[in-house]
Amino acid sequence: MEKKKELKIFLEDPYLMDFKDDIYLRINRYKEKKSELLNNKRKLKSIANFHDYYGFHRNRQGFVYREWAPNADEVFLSGDFNNWELLPLKRNEKGDFEVQINGHKTLEHNSRVKTVIRKDGVDVYKVPMFIHKVSQDVNDNGVYDFYGIIENTTNAYKFKNSFKLDKDFKPYIYETHIGIAQEKEDIGSYEEFLDILPRIKELGYNAIQIMAIASHAYYGSFGYHVTNFFAASHWFGDTENLKKLIDKAHELGIAVLMDIVHSHAATNVNEGVNNYDGTDYQLFHSGARGHHSAWDSKVFDYGKNDVIKFLLSNLNYWLTEYKFDGFRFDGITSMLYLDHGLGKAFTSYHDYFSLNTDMDACVYLTLANELIKEINPNSITIAEDVSGMPGLAAPIEDGGMGFDYRFNMGAPDFWAKQLDLDDHDWNMNWMWHELTTKRPDEKTISYAESHDQALVGDKTIMFKLTDSEIYWNMQIDNQSYIIHRAIALHKLITSATMNLASNGYLNFMGNEFGHPEWIDFPSERNNWSFYYARRQWHLVDDENLKYKWLNQFNKESVHFSQDNDLFNHYPMLMMLHNEFKLLEFKRGDLYFIYNFHPTRSYESLSIPIDEKGNYKVVFDSDNSRYGGLDRISNDYVYEAKKVYGTDHPFNINIYLPSRTMLVLKKIDE
């Protein structure tokens, strides 16, 4: 009898064999749930179509409106079209509520509607669950009242550009938020963001990751408390302009990823899907398990078939209606564990495989990844998981959950801790470990800082380095030591993170030029000010300010990485010296040498080289274009010579100033 071939996940990591039963339980549960959902159908897309059935749809007579509210006693529709009278829906043969509205002009374009759910004699006015547009009025007391908006037009935006990701796509992601992308002290729009796209293109980023796309009633939630899962956020203007934005990005060769939130939902009852049919268990776990104490939000019940179909339909909708190229899944750790991973260090494999693992959530995530690839084989998915769950970003056929990438969330945490130390105490061994360690069967995306480090209460790297000095000493002719140190270290930190990244790199908008201060959305705390909820592009555009140096360094670093296809070559450690703060690694045919020491410049530093020949510096951080002092020659030819008694076949003696990096490449003889 032929021996059953072992799954690749166990071949890559033999330690997982101790948890074979747990992993096969997850795999078998996924297969069983898939079979149960499909019920002899062939494609997951066939059951991910709630949005095609529920909501408002034109037909020959006018409109049919269906609502999913299984536990409601009665359902009504109310709006502009009937002077806010209650139009009753009837239960159909499927148990859903339905009404035919005759006349194509009855529901005018942009007219307002609400669904009324009657349960136990109580009427609750709600935004329809599957509405595609939302808006709000505000009364004299500043209280918002949200409505669903009807789409009834033949002028819907038509995409002009055909776009798909190459199979060997290497992500350089520019993380962004539409509302704060403008300089004005107000909310930016989809249309205004069109002017930001050329900046991103020039910097070399080939993907944008857009936050806060799904509709959310509270602007200050950063989009992480979703109320309306099938509506693009109204805060940024007409949703048709989001399509225009995505189309323009595709024209520029930029992929568009959506930061999607399926880990929880807003508690809002009137504006959102909470208690939609009058119960707390239609979409969510009932009682205490359905409430996320740390986030004050609702927790989906991933074990229910209709909940899975709802969420899968949501993915299908964004991929097909808006042509997103993939998703970054937020808050995966919270989904994977029944205790949401709160207060856990995840220092042992036992932390991943236990009765604390939410097997239903694992199954849903696997189905989600399979569906996304079914709809768009070239799409990409990214998991934001702090726990390090093995298999999360391994292929489904290998025993994983199917994400294409996972974030290297240890990198920003490492940099934050280093910046709390004296420069002399930075740990080079720890640096190498955090910036390179990954599971061999999973691809990772690294970043020095994301939006998390820019939020009020935290500090960006640049602001940690400069503090208040950034307000007074960023002029070109200013000789502030604090600013000089900050610029030098900012370049080294972002450069090391990018050049050691395994499979992708991410930057949050503005951090490429050291945007000052923090992000703070308008609230009662700051007297509803937008001052800190914007990006000050004039700073980087001002030729008399030093921000332009960091921007230029980031731009050329991205292009250098892409031109040399660095993500196709894994970094190999050549030299590491903790006391001298030196790091050298090889990637492809390039040698990267970093000197993090705050004071020591090395006049004739001997560095190991694998191959005999002549070498030149092809990139360095000390170039005056980046605010450097031009102490490193790009013309000098270094000869690799044999040095007996060393661990490497050849060595080169170079000059390496403090707080600089350079890249060597062999030249033709």
List active site positions.
330, 384
Spell out where 316-438 has E strands. 326-329, 380-383, 405-407
Q: Output the six-digit token pair for 610.
A: 């694998």
What Å distances lie between residue 331 and 230, 459, 461, 598, CA to CA? 19, 21, 23, 37
Dihedral (C-alpha) 547, 552, 555, 557: value to the nearest 10 degrees?
-110
> CA–CA separation, 649 vs 612, rounded Å?
8
Q: Output the six-digit token pair for 170.
A: 């290497």
Residues 6+ apart with CB under 8 A from 423: 489, 596, 597, 598
Residue of 279, 331, 333 lying closest to 306 (CA atoms) = 279
Strand-pair partners of 304: none
> CA–CA separation, 468 vs 42, rounded Å?
61
Distance between start and end Cα atoms, the chain: 59
Residue of 398, 392, 401, 406 lying closest to 443 (CA atoms) = 406
Question: Any idea which residue has 């550009």 for tokens?
Answer: 161
Let me know: does 245 contact 190? Beta carbons within 8 Å. Answer: yes
5-39 core/surface letters (b: 16 or more CB in 10 A; e: else): eebebbebbeebeebeebbeebbebbeebbeebee
Q: Supply the angle between the helices 428-436 and 410-418 in degrees, to the nearest 10.
A: 160
